[in-house]
Amino acid sequence: MANSVVVWTEPGGAIVPKSATTAVDIANVAKALSTRDKRQIVTAFESEAYEMMAGFILNKALSQLKRQLASLGMEFVGEMLGRQDLNADSIPTVAISNFEAINLARELGIINSTDAKRLTQHLELLAHFDSLDVHDAEFEEMSREEALSFLRTCINSVLGREGTFAPVEFVEFRSALESRTFKATDADVETLNAAPYFFKKTTLSILLSSMKTRSGAQFEHTLGNIVVLVPVLWPHLRDSEKWSLGQSYAEVVAAGNTAAVLALKKALTAVRGFDYVPETLRSQTFSAAASDIINVHTSMNNFYNEPSAVAALAKLGTTIPWPAFPICMSAILAVSIGNSYGHSWDAQPEVDALLQRLSNNQWEYYLNSCLAGDELILQKLAWYDKPRDRWILLVQKYALNTKSAKSRDVRQLIKASSENDVTKIGTISAKLLDAN
């Protein structure tokens, strides 16, 4: 399947020659029209029934376009359009709207963007004439030039080409997503990275759909490909697709689909994508990661185990959700200031990165709503010299004395920290600790 992802390029070049300026000359280029169709078109044009001819040729072109799309399989078309109502029994000329057909054909490369724009404009113009009342229709009519433009566009874009021209490689790639697990080093994965946006979007849609509907080996291959391909797709995806991935994670969690949860969690973690998971579930995920840090920090071999635990939290997303903020801050600060024996050097780069992300608003929220009740941090400041010394450095580094703290005790604690008064830090921290 080498080079299978870049499945099609826009057809280029005009089929109808510039020298063809009459209805007869243009119609004769149409390979997808019968002799009778061509005769009817020419007769209507020569009778100056321009709107009738334009409607006939446009309907022929769009019907042909829909049949080309249907050759991919109507279920597959439904996946690409995001329409669950389409299935193998759906009739393409009825089930696919004209607008959907033009846009999908453009995105698949069946027609080029210029012809797609012209077809859309022709649809709008024909709709305008069809909407005229009897009085207005007496005075407004399609011109000869407009009718010739309809004819030229329809034949250039669709009816002048032989075969279905549907990119069957799409079907092959779609099948491969469920029949084998790609490797990050596969040529197909590298090609996917350079593929048009629509193909990336469609690939994600297929993976999420298959995850919910397939079983057995197809399900396993789908999950494997989610883990491999989501990191490739992620930098190129728009927010709407990223949110769909987060929503799918929430759905499989709610459904108790453990295998799918693990695959999506691994993929989202790899791209720091939990910002796009619905807030409640996102908060639970952050809280669980913070709890794991605290468990590791307060257990044996904490200096060795803390780096991976902190990294797991850092990979969840760029911002910490408010419901999970208190426990996350407690975990981050605990690793930052360490314990009576010291601190984990290897964990500090990730900890520093997390702290540097905090906004002024987040720091003030911690000082006003969290610190006075953060027993883990207060214990360190009240009982141990080494955490106290690192707390002083932290307060100075992030200029916490410039933040607005409403509590008198917290203000005094920050002031003592900025002045290196370790005795006062211990006294105030103990006082706050006793109040809990």
User: pLDDT tens digits for 232-265?
Assistant: 999 988 887 898 899 899 989 988 899 999 999 9
Distance of CA 282 to the CA centre of its chain: 17
User: What's the whole-number mean pLDDT along residues 25-41?
Assistant: 91
Q: Decide if pLDDT at 318 tops 60.
A: yes
Give the separation between CA 96 and CA 69, rounded to whole angstroms: 9
User: pLDDT tens digits for 357-410?
Assistant: 999 999 999 999 899 989 899 999 999 999 999 999 999 999 999 999 999 999
**What pLDDT score does 3 carry?**
40
User: pLDDT tens digits for 87-131?
Assistant: 889 999 998 888 888 888 887 778 888 888 899 889 888 888 887
**pLDDT more than 70, % of the chain:** 94
**What pLDDT score does 47 carry?**
93
User: What's the whole-number mean pLDDT along residues 182-210?
Assistant: 84
**pLDDT more than 90, % of the chain:** 52
pLDDT band at 314 (very low <50, low <70, confident <90, very high): very high
User: What's the whole-number mean pLDDT along residues 290-300?
Assistant: 91
Lowest mean pLDDT among 80-94, 320-334, 397-411: 80-94
pLDDT band at 5 (very low <50, low <70, confident <90, very high): very low
SS3 (DSSP) at 339:
strand
Give the separation between CA 39 and CA 44, rounded to whole angstroms: 9
User: pLDDT tens digits for 212-236?
Assistant: 888 899 999 999 999 999 999 999 8
Strand ranges inside 125-173, DSSP E: none
**What pLDDT score does 188 carry?**
83
**What pLDDT score does 104 carry?**
86
Token pair in block for residue 336: 């930052």
**Which sign, positive or negative, has the C-alpha torsion 231, 233, 239, 245?**
negative
Give the separation between CA 163 and CA 170, rounded to whole angstroms: 17
Give the separation between CA 174 and CA 199, rounded to whole angstroms: 11
**What pLDDT score does 1 carry?**
39
**Which sign, positive or negative, has the C-alpha torsion 342, 344, 345, 349?**
negative
**What pLDDT score does 108 carry?**
76
For the chain, give the mean pLDDT: 88
Give the separation between CA 425 and CA 419, rounded to whole angstroms: 10
**Could you tell me which residues come within 8 angstroms of residue 306 by beta carbon, excluding any fewer than 6 positions away?**
293, 296, 297, 335, 344, 346, 347
* HSE (side-chain half, CA atoms, 13 Å) at 252: 22
User: What's the whole-number mean pLDDT along residues 21-27?
Assistant: 90
Give the separation between CA 68 and CA 320, rounded to whole angstroms: 48
Q: Which residue has the higher pLDDT, 286 or 164?
A: 286
Q: Decide if pLDDT at 165 tops 60.
A: no
Q: Decide if pLDDT at 335 tops 90.
A: yes
Question: CA triplet 229, 264, 193: central angle to 5 degrees?
Answer: 15
**What pLDDT score does 6 carry?**
44
